[in-house]
Chains A and B, each alone.
Chain A
Amino acid sequence: MSVEMDKKRFGFAATARTFGYALGVIVRRQPLYLCFLLGAGLCKGLQPFIAVLLPKLVLEELSGAKDPARLLMLVLTAAGLSGLLYWLGGLLELRRDRENEKFDKLIERLLAQKTLTMDFPHLENPEVLTLIQQYRQGRMTNGGLSGAFGWALTSALPSLITMAGMAYLVLQLNVWVQLSILLTTTATLWTLYVSMDANNQMMLSCGDANRISSYFVSVTSDFANAKDLRLYQGEKLISSRIRGTVEDMFRAQSKGYRICTQCNVARAMLLQLQMVGIYAALTVQAVRNGMSVADYVMYTAAAVSFTNALITAAVAAVNFYGAIRLVNPLSEYMHLPAVLKQGAEPVPARQMEDALVFENVSFTYPRADAPVLRHLNLTLKKGERLAVVGENGAGKTTMIKLMLRLYDPDEGRILLNGRNVTTMTLDEYLEQFAVVFQDFKLLAFSVRENLCADEECERQRLDAVLKKLGLDETLSQYERGEDTSVYKLFDEKGVEFSGGERQKMAIARALYKDSPIVIMDEPTAALDPIAEEEIYRHMGGLVQGKTAVFISHRLSSCKFCDRVAVFENGRVTQCGPHEQLVHQDGLYRRMFEAQAQYYV
């Protein structure tokens, strides 16, 4: 990825947008958080005033009337106020921290919501994946938005309040003192700016290194790699990559880091100089113009407190900016636009003989060179069973994706019951399809919820489906029956069902949906021959009264289909009943013979 793009992604405008996004979320969904944030900041910001004002009042009294009652009152008031502010501030902070954790979860939920609902092509876009990875990386580094608000903003707010109050006292000082404060403060802020700039460069120079190193680290802990890494002794290859990436990162950042260090050292020294300078300047003023010790103590404390607060606020602001900026990819992600055509019309109620028609459909994946589908024509007749076969990469799965409107065709159109599918609302359109994908996914919740894809289920429909696939028997082995969770990932008492059992669940889920069109993409890949045979024997009953499409490499599945469509290079080259195709010279016969040779 280009540095230019990152520059924009992590630039000021994008950061302002992220801040706006976060603030919008807080104001709309969690206004309490804002209240506690401000309240706790105010309490903490007021504390230094006691330390500045009380000594002055006490010293004035001590160098003047020395009235014990008044002194006692002063001390009690100050101590009482300190205690009170501490209590109030402390309690508000606890409440604020709780809201902050809530905020963190809320952001994660909103992110999930976006992922679950945005247009599908984004999910296969590597740039979008990069956004998410960059966000994760930033979140790891600085705690994400809640980190920025909970940490940087939390320290900035009190300092701002302190600064504003102390400014009043500092303005009373003579102009030379003010000038010296201005000078050292400016110098300090300058070091801050330079280091911020260097930081910026460092982050950009890192580029993809973070992503790459975390990929290789994940390779080591993804134990799906374990067999290959051991048998082929790949550990040196992987660890040398991790080392290499880290070293590159160190090298790329070394200059920036040096500058940052210099700035930090200079700033620490300047702070000392400034403190001594304030004392010295006020001493000069006190000696030349006369100033009570009480005033001297107050003004020095005020000036030191002012400059410290100013620097703290500035550092916090820079940190806040930096932390927000790191999660800019989040707001970019949240604002990803719709890319699919969306109609508003309902699905035509009348079912036509040609249920689904691909008309001259061509499609090229974004960022790919060659089209996957080339002028594809295919008709799915109402109630028929169509087998789709072809070599890997011939476009079978892409055809399904277009059928499900996960992508829009580049050319041509797809008709459902005679109407162009892009004119219909997506939700209602998808109700027409039940699909078992090759890489189907079950979630780690209960079997029942998985079959219904929701928390609520329709009892009778569920029972019928469970029975049809023999899952009722499988589940009766477990104490919790259909409430048994799939996998142990969410529910520790869950069950690791076998691949075959899971595949049956995926089929059951499709049947429960009870849609007019059923699509099965390699539905028996995980089954052994006996189980496969069993499924296919019952398949006719399973999809009775529905239009069904089967994609399979096992040509045995073509046996019970009405027609077979052979995909070759993105189009259908042969189409007809098995009996007919097997006698035609063509791909189908070659494939059939390749499989049959082992059995005859």
Chain B
Amino acid sequence: MKQCDGGTLRKNLGFLLGACARYDRKAFGLFAMYTVGCALQPLVSVFLPKVMVAGLEKGGALQPLMIWATGFAVCGMLLAAMQSYGQNMFLLSAINVRMRVAEELYVQLMTMDFQDTENPDVLRRVELGSEAFWGNQIGFEGVLHILFDNTGVVLSLLALSTMLSILHPLIVALILLGAALSFWLSRRARAFEDARQEDQAELNRKWDYLSRTAQDFSYGKDVRLYRMQNWVLNKYAQLMRAHDRLVRSFKRAHVPRVLTEGLFTLLREGVVYGYLIYLFLQGRLMLSDFAMYFAAVASFSAQLNLLLGEVARLPVELRKVDHARRFMQPEKKEISTQPAPQGDTLGVELDHVSFSYPGGREVLHDVSLSIRPGEKLAVVGLNGAGKTTLVKLLTRLYEPTGGSIAVGGVPAAQVEKKEYFRLFSALFQEVRVFAVSVAENVALQPADTLDRARVERCLRLAGLWDKIESLPGGMDAVLLKNVDLYGTELSGGQNQRLALARALYKDAPLVVLDEPTAALDPLAEADLYERFARLVEGRTAVFISHRLSSTRFCDRIILMEDGRIAEMGTHDELMALDGRYAQLFRVQAQYYQEEARKG
């Protein structure tokens, strides 16, 4: 396994311990405390019977025995307290560290290259890496706990094995052999499981999909109307059968281990008892030793099994940590050589730009385009013509695979992405609303850093202020029902106004509008168009639509077809050209024009 080789192991442990050192140094003190308690405590339960029985055997007085007992009680309680306190406080510490590291992961998720959010390989790593933060026993915290818990166990095993070696080294050897065999067999069983990991992953994926879908309330209408219940439940039944078959084979793979462990239990008990009896009959052992050694053997083999079980889990959990680490510490770093261009109106140059998805076909071919500062450009075309890809390239959500883009004369690729993003205000068809206050939704900044007067001004300009003012809490009202169960849900048109306010608040020199009114009613659409005009006033703007109605207020129209610019010009020029654009326009206009002629 790759994550077990020295270098990777060191990196992963460094990642874990580094996070502890960064976020919670107490953890190391707690570790020392727990380990001492854990290592020494078993000795109390081993030596206590010995001392007591020895005293009784000798028929001695009560008093020294009571003194011994007091000593044991004090030591035992002290060690137990150290162990328990260390463990409990570490639990908290580990959660704290995990949460902080998870937060780094979340930020990474929100800022990683947009293109990676559509890359299945990256998404897979994200999924596996996120698993590292899902709970107390797995991944990040799981490995921390395995390391934390077991160092003391190792120490106490060393002490016990020394003691048992004095009795007879072969007894230790027998127990170790049994444990090794059981470890080997459980690894084999796990290897059997690993070999079927693909089957399992497929089943899990299907199961996840099914339960997510069946539980998704937004499917409710279709499910009821088309009576899909039996269909879906049949799929459940099929998957349950397949899953049970898989589990059965997994459990069967553990049978040899169980049988071997039983055999070694039998051998251990027989040999140890037999040998102790033999020693006693030889007169080399006191009755008190008898009890002590027996307790020691039981404790030794129990702890050994526990340890090996944990050790077996380590690679599994470490693998998740490895995925997380590799996602969070990407190898490539961005180099920026140029500051972002300044100014309220910027021109854009696309120079022989083409784009293809990784390993996919080219979707944009050799597009050259020059947008003047302050120009309003409409991009039209059928679905799949490459309009949205063009916008994504312009905003650098995608990077071109050929050619280059320059904004305000500065090559885009040389500007730091974060700075580059500042240049754009964008509105998309689907508005993403978050369960935070209206004001925070507009500014997309925490409440303490945003400009409330500006939020209000933008909401007014977007035509949403009346609605917001009517909400209890005004611009502090929380949207959606995810956080506040009775939060406000805006309608489609209102959401689009919110997005407009967001764009106005940002007030960037370049504006991109990607079909923002496709789902709106005609009056809302007409009203929004007027407000967009305000947004793009004195700015450079690109307006995408497959409805041609919007092209009228643009200076120039480009028609895209199959990833190329097929036609370019003003509305009148394109109509005169009588090409694809004219055809599209007529299809949409026919109905309205008929009426106009008649009316």
Interface string of B515-534 (1 = CB under 8 A from A): 00011111111100000000
A217 and B591 CA atoms in complex are apart in Å by 48
User: Across chains A and B, which 9 residue pairs bring their CB atoms closest together, nearest first?
Assistant: A83-B266, A598-B549, A90-B258, A272-B76, A112-B214, A599-B589, A79-B270, A268-B84, A596-B592
Q: Give me 28 A-to-B residue pairs in the complex whose CB atoms sit less than 8 angstroms apart, sorted by A's number.
A: A71-B277, A78-B269, A82-B266, A87-B262, A105-B239, A123-B217, A215-B435, A224-B430, A226-B114, A227-B426, A228-B432, A235-B110, A240-B446, A241-B446, A264-B87, A268-B83, A272-B77, A283-B52, A393-B491, A437-B222, A445-B235, A490-B205, A528-B383, A529-B382, A529-B547, A530-B382, A595-B522, A595-B549
User: Which residues of chain A come closer than 8 Å to B251, judged between CB atoms?
Assistant: 94-95, 97-98
Do A279 and B49 have beta carbons less than 8 Å apart? yes
Assess A94 versus B254: contact at CB under 8 Å? Given A261-B88, A599-B588. Answer: yes
Assess A235 versus B111: contact at CB under 8 Å? Given A87-B262, A600-B592. Answer: yes
Do A221 and B432 have beta carbons less than 8 Å apart? no
User: Which residues of chain B come closer than 8 Å to A592, judged between CB atoms?
Assistant: 522, 592, 595
Assess A59 versus B290: contact at CB under 8 Å? Given A441-B219, A529-B546, A591-B521. Answer: yes
Q: Does A296 contact B (CB under 8 A)?
A: yes
Interface size on B, residues (CB 8 A): 164
Interface residues on A, range: 35 or more
Do B217 and A116 have beta carbons less than 8 Å apart? no
Q: Name B263's closest neighbour in chain A (CB-CB).
A: A83
User: Which residues of chain B come closer than 8 Å to A555, judged between CB atoms?
Assistant: 522, 591
Assess A490 versus B291: contact at CB under 8 Å? Given A227-B397, A241-B436, A591-B522. Answer: no
Q: Does A344 contact B (CB under 8 A)?
A: no
Cβ contact of A490, chosen from B210, B395, B436, cutoff 8 A = B210
Interface string of B232-253 (1 = CB under 8 A from A): 1111110110011001100110
Cβ contact of B231, chosen from A367, A401, A453, cutoff 8 A = A453
User: Which residues of chain A come closer than 8 Å to B235, judged between CB atoms?
Assistant: 445
Q: Name A294's closest neighbour in chain B (CB-CB).
A: B287
Q: Name B238's closest neighbour in chain A (CB-CB).
A: A455
Do B103 and A242 have beta carbons less than 8 Å apart? yes
Sample of 11 more A-B contacts, CB < 8 Å, known A113-B229, A284-B62, A288-B62: A58-B273, A80-B266, A111-B215, A141-B135, A220-B107, A231-B426, A233-B421, A291-B56, A404-B224, A553-B522, A597-B526
Q: Does A234 contact B (CB under 8 A)?
A: yes
Do B587 and A529 have beta carbons less than 8 Å apart? yes
Q: Does B485 contact A (CB under 8 A)?
A: yes
User: Which residues of chain B come closer than 8 Å to A280, judged between CB atoms?
Assistant: 65-66, 69, 73
User: Which residues of chain A come closer than 8 Å to B247, judged between CB atoms?
Assistant: 98, 101-102
Do B69 and A600 have beta carbons less than 8 Å apart? no
Counting chain A CB atoms within 10 Å of each CB, the highest count among B44, B55, B73, B290 belongs to B73
Main secondary structure of the interface of A (DSSP, over half): helix
Q: Name B89's closest neighbour in chain A (CB-CB).
A: A261
One of A124-132, A462-470, A541-549 contacting the partner: A124-132
Do A525 and B106 have beta carbons less than 8 Å apart? no
One of A9-17, A352-360, A427-435 contacting the partner: A427-435
Do B240 and A106 have beta carbons less than 8 Å apart? yes
Do B225 and A83 have beta carbons less than 8 Å apart? no
A596 and B549 CA atoms in complex are apart in Å by 9
Do A231 and B424 have beta carbons less than 8 Å apart? yes
Cβ contact of B228, chosen from A98, A231, A401, A453, cutoff 8 A = A453
Cβ contact of A55, chosen from B227, B290, B546, cutoff 8 A = B290
User: Which residues of chain A come closer than 8 Å to B506, judged between CB atoms?
Assistant: 232
Cβ contact of A102, chosen from B53, B227, B244, B432, cutoff 8 A = B244
Cβ contact of B44, chosen from A272, A390, A513, cutoff 8 A = A272
Interface string of B193-235 (1 = CB under 8 A from A): 0000000001001110111011101111111111111111111
Do B263 and A94 have beta carbons less than 8 Å apart? no
Q: Name B80's closest neighbour in chain A (CB-CB).
A: A268
Which B243-283 residues have a C-beta within 8 angstroms of A? Answer: 243-244, 247-248, 251-252, 254-255, 258-259, 261-263, 265-267, 269-270, 273-274, 277, 280-281
A455 and B118 CA atoms in complex are apart in Å by 32
User: Which residues of chain A come closer than 8 Å to B582, judged between CB atoms?
Assistant: none
Q: Name A304's closest neighbour in chain B (CB-CB).
A: B45
A421 and B212 CA atoms in complex are apart in Å by 33
Q: Name A509's closest neighbour in chain B (CB-CB).
A: B226
A455 and B230 CA atoms in complex are apart in Å by 9
Q: Does A8 contact B (CB under 8 A)?
A: no
Q: Does A275 contact B (CB under 8 A)?
A: yes
A555 and B547 CA atoms in complex are apart in Å by 13
A583 and B41 CA atoms in complex are apart in Å by 94
Do B111 and A269 have beta carbons less than 8 Å apart? no
Assess A264 versus B88: contact at CB under 8 Å? Given A94-B258, A132-B215, A283-B65. Answer: yes
Do A449 and B231 have beta carbons less than 8 Å apart? yes
Which B75-118 residues have a C-beta within 8 angstroms of A? Answer: 76-77, 79-81, 83-85, 87-89, 92, 96, 99, 102-103, 106-107, 109-111, 114, 117-118
Q: Name B525's closest neighbour in chain A (CB-CB).
A: A594
User: Which residues of chain A come closer than 8 Å to B547, judged between CB atoms?
Assistant: 529
Do A513 and B418 have beta carbons less than 8 Å apart? no
Q: Does B311 contact A (CB under 8 A)?
A: no
Do B265 and A86 have beta carbons less than 8 Å apart? yes
